[in-house]
């Protein structure tokens, strides 16, 4: 054995094999995030806005020039219904909505986006960098988002937004557990200066083995028309019902 190892040709062969194995391991390490990214993308692509009915509870707190207002709005989404009936306003501040509120809500329904995991397909396949957070989760960072991905006050702020998507596992299945969105300071419609906007969306694995949106928390501050203000919104999602197709 000693003579075999000291043989120059054998040593060269061993060294060559070691280099080859190292390159294989390095390539595997480099491809692992790409494989994970493709699995998450395929997972999001397998879902749509019509997969679940749900209830949404929106709690908002807004402060402007020292005055604070708090409101709670509850609505429902049901993809089995047609047209405007897919969205239904249930209550506002614990009371049935007024006729004016219902009319306004109905008018806005055609432009109301359906939140959900499927929306990751809009940008998850684009260029990103990869890190690992303190919990050991793989985090995909997107420095800019494609057009029509992020809207604030009906203004497209996508190109000025960045996102961090944290991936974890549940019962051996990887999924995006958290999406943190940050919008850099900018002007909106020339009237408002957005100083700060951050939102965090949290998902869990549902009983059907599909990720469900659980909560979204958004905080913002800015100024416009001679006023300064800030706001915080907490949106929770419940009563999920899978739609049989």
Q: For residues 112 and 73, give the distance between their C-alpha atoms in angstroms, rounded to a whole number.
A: 15
- Residues with Cβ within 8 Å of 90's Cβ and at least 6 positions away in sequence, in order, are 55, 74, 75, 76, 97
Q: Which among 176, 221, 218, 177 is positioned nearest to 200, based on CA atoms?
A: 218
Q: How far is the C-alpha of 224 from the C-alpha of 191, rounded, in Å?
A: 6
Q: Write phi, then psi, for 243 (nearest 5 degrees).
A: -90, 125
Structure confidence by residue, pLDDT tens digits, 69-82 = 999 999 999 999 99
Cα–Cα–Cα angle for 208, 45, 57, rounded to 5 degrees: 60
Going by their DSSP bridges, the two strands 151-152 and 173-183 should be labelled as unpaired
CA–CA dist 243, 86 (Å, integer): 13
How far is residue 55's CA from residue 70's CA, in Å, rounded to a whole number? 20
Residue 45: its H or E element:
helix 8-45
* pLDDT of amino acid 171: 87
pLDDT for position 232: 97
86 in Cβ contact with 108 (< 8 Å): no
Question: What ranges do the domains of the chain cover?
Answer: 29-242
- Cα–Cα distance between 18 and 5 in angstroms, integer? 14
| Residue 139 pLDDT class (50, 70, 90 cuts) | very high
pLDDT in tens, 172-196: 999 999 999 999 999 998 788 999 9
pTM over 0.75, yes/no: yes
User: How far is C-alpha 222 from the geometric centre of its chain's CA atoms?
Assistant: 23
Q: Is residue 161 within 8 Å of 144, Cβ to Cβ?
A: yes
Q: Phi and psi of 218, rounded to 5°?
A: -125, 140
Residue 26 has a pLDDT of 35
């Amino acid at each position: 054995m000693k003579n075999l190892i000291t043989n120059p040709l054998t040593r060269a062969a061993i060294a060559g094999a070691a280099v080859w194995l190292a390159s294989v391991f390095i390539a595997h390490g480099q491809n692992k995030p790409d494989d994970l990214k493709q699995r998450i993308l395929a997972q999001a692509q397998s879902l749509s806005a019509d997969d679940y009915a749900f209830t949404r509870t929106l709690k908002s707190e807004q402060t402007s020039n020292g005055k604070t207002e708090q409101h709670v709005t509850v609505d429902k989404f049901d993809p089995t219904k047609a047209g405007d009936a897919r969205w239904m306003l249930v209550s506002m501040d614990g009371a049935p909505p007024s006729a004016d509120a219902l009319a306004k809500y109905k008018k806005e329904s055609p432009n109301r986006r359906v939140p959900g995991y499927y929306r990751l397909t809009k940008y998850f396949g684009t260029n990103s960098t990869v890190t690992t957070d303190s919990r050991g989760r793989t985090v995909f960072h997107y420095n800019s988002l494609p057009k029509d991905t992020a809207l604030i006050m009906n203004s497209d702020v996508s190109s000025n937004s960045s996102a961090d998507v944290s991936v974890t596992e549940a019962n051996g299945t990887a999924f995006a557990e958290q999406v943190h969105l940050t919008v850099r300071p900018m002007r909106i419609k020339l009237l408002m200066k957005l100083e700060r906007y951050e939102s965090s969306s949290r998902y869990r694995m549902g009983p059907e083995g599909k990720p469900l949106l659980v909560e979204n928390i958004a905080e913002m501050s800015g100024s416009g028309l001679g006023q300064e203000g800030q706001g915080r919104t907490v949106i929770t999602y419940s009563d999920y019902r899978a739609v049989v197709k």
